[in-house]
Structures are given as C-alpha cells and as structure tokens.
Amino acid sequence: MYILVRIPRSDYDLLKSLQDQVKLLKKYYVEAFQKDDLVYLGEIAGKLRVLIHEKGSNTPLLLSLMDKFQIEIPITLDGPPIEPLRVNQVQEIKFHCEDIWT
C-alpha cells in the first residue's frame, strides 16, 4: 500500500510552475485554434484542469495562487475577463513574479 504525501513547494516553485503551464497553454492554443490541429484540444483541457479545476483533493494551481496572494482574476470560459485587472493587481502580480519573468 502506498501513501501519497504532498511535498511542500515554495512560492517561487509554484509561480514558476504557473508560468510553465501558461506557456504551454498558449502554445497549445496556437496549435489547436490557429493551425487547426485539433489533437491539442485534449492538451488544452488538461492544462485548464491543472490551473482551475477543483475536484477531490486536487488543488488547482492558479486558484491556489490567487488565494495565497489574495488576487482576484475573473475567469470566463467564453471570452476574456469582463473587467480588466486593476493597476494595483497587475503591479502585485509583477512583484510576486519578477524573479521568474525576467
């Protein structure tokens, strides 16, 4: 019998993982919707599950980081967010991510 143990991850590791997941999601979007390679639709669904799907003991990466840093990012499935991010939200995200994005 195996017991799964969650390994604690630093904020840096979580933000780096978010960056990697979003980068892949963008790549898969281009392949699926701009180059019409529908094989990537399953990959897009998988990345969305990693980022925002809450089920059982799964901790969605994007939602957990939003909670951790107390940031609200509107998420819609049929288009861009209804309201753009406020300037202070963008600055806060950049502050937490500056080591990763630069």
Write out pLDDT tens, residues 19-75. 999 999 999 988 988 898 889 989 999 999 999 888 887 889 999 999 998 888 776
Given this model, what pLDDT does residue 13 score? 92
| pLDDT computed for residue 59 by the predictor | 86
Distance CA 47, CA 92 (A): 24
Q: Is residue 92 within 8 Å of residue 70, measured between CB atoms?
A: no
**How far is residue 48's CA from residue 41's CA, in Å, rounded to a whole number?**
11
pLDDT value at residue 29: 87
Whole-structure pTM value? 0.67
Q: Could you tell me if 16 and 100 are in contact, meaning their C-beta atoms sit under 8 angstroms apart?
A: yes
